[in-house]
């Protein structure tokens, strides 16, 4: 692809992330391959809505800058991905608030809950905590990079990979939406996980679309009969109990404050 177009795609993706509230202030960073040994990355300490294609920094896979500019301090994490995943053409690192909430709670997003997410992302594991911008972080992600297209950084952020800038961006948007859905399901009392046979059917669809990799999210070991037939018996919810559950969750999230009881 034309190098200038790749730069424009990164700028457009940065603006989109900013508009969605996934890279507040100067958070986050993006990169894309320019060639076998060249990567272009966002500069350090730059608001993503203010990105300029001419200001993006070109580096090699050893982190040496070719040209002008100062690369993101988290460049090493991006290069660690490119060195082990020849199929990855773009990396997006952002701080989507709901997904990062799971990361700060010590939880990945690994259950098979939604078919679209199972196919697009698979499991989204949580990596061990490491100081941002250090080789420690590169080591922390080593165990998940080979087998996953999205992962959470403990107490930090989220990373998505793609065969293009657009795909990596889409995966970040899907990840945050999925985190919101998963949080809502947990607040409403729990999740209904897809059974193994449902995941096998999704894998068949994925193969027909040209991706032979397995779906990596975690299904139920056995599909409950009700879920297999599509008839999931549920008790009628008690509106008062449901309202109290939501109110308790909101108080937990907001905490005590002016006009609110602890």
Q: Does residue 215 lie in a domain region? A: no
By residue range, what is the domain housing residue 152?
A: 3-187
Q: What is the pLDDT of residues 182-230, one digit of tens each?
A: 999 999 999 999 999 999 999 999 999 999 999 999 998 744 444 433 3
Q: Does residue 147 lie in a domain region? A: yes
* Angle of the 3-19 helix axis to the 165-187 helix axis, nearest 10: 20
The total of structural domains in the chain comes to 1
Q: Does residue 239 lie in a domain region? A: no
Q: Does residue 238 lie in a domain region? A: no
Instruction: Find the CATH number of the domain harbouring 165.
Output: 3.40.225.10
Instruction: Give me the mean pLDDT over the 97-102 stretch.
Output: 98
180 contacts: CB under 8 Å, gap ≥ 6: 98
Q: Does residue 175 lie in a domain region? A: yes
Q: Does residue 253 lie in a domain region? A: no
**Residue 234: pLDDT band with limits 50, 70, 90:** very low
Q: How many angstroms separate the CA atoms of 142 and 173, rounded? A: 23
**Residue 255: pLDDT band with limits 50, 70, 90:** low
Q: Does residue 196 lie in a domain region? A: no
pLDDT for residue 176 is more than 50: yes
φ, ψ for residue 135, nearest 5 deg: -60, -25
Other CB atoms within 10 Å distance of the CB of residue 98: 18
Q: Which of 137, 179, 176 is CA-nearest to residue 155?
A: 137
Contact yes or no for 103/141 (Cβ under 8 A): no
Q: Does residue 206 lie in a domain region? A: no
């Amino acid at each position: 692809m034309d190098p200038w177009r790749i730069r424009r795609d990164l700028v457009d993706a940065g603006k989109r992330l900013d508009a969605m509230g996934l890279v507040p202030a100067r958070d986050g960073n993006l990169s894309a391959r320019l060639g076998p040994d060249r990567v272009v990355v966002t500069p350090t300490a730059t608001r993503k809505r203010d990105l300029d294609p001419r200001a993006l920094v070109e580096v090699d896979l050893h982190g040496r800058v070719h040209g002008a500019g100062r690369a993101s301090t988290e460049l090493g994490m991006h290069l660690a991905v490119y060195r082990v995943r020849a199929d990855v053409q773009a990396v997006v690192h952002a701080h989507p608030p709901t997904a990062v909430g799971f990361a700060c709670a010590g939880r990945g997003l690994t259950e098979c809950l939604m078919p679209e997410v199972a196919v697009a992302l698979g499991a989204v594991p949580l990596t061990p905590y490491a100081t941002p911008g250090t080789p420690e972080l590169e080591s922390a992600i080593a165990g998940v990079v080979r087998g996953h297209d999205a992962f959470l950084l403990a107490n930090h952020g989220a990373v998505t990979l793609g065969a293009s800038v657009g795909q990596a961006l889409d995966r970040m948007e899907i990840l945050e939406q999925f985190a919101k859905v998963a949080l809502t399901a947990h607040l409403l009392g729990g999740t209904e996980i897809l059974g193994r046979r449902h995941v096998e059917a999704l894998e068949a669809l994925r193969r027909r679309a040209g991706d032979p990799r397995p779906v990596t999210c975690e299904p139920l070991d056995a599909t409950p009969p009700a879920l297999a037939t599509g008839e999931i018996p549920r008790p009628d919810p008690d509106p008062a109990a449901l309202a109290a559950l939501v109110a308790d969750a909101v108080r937990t999230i907001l905490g005590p404050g002016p006009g609110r009881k602890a």
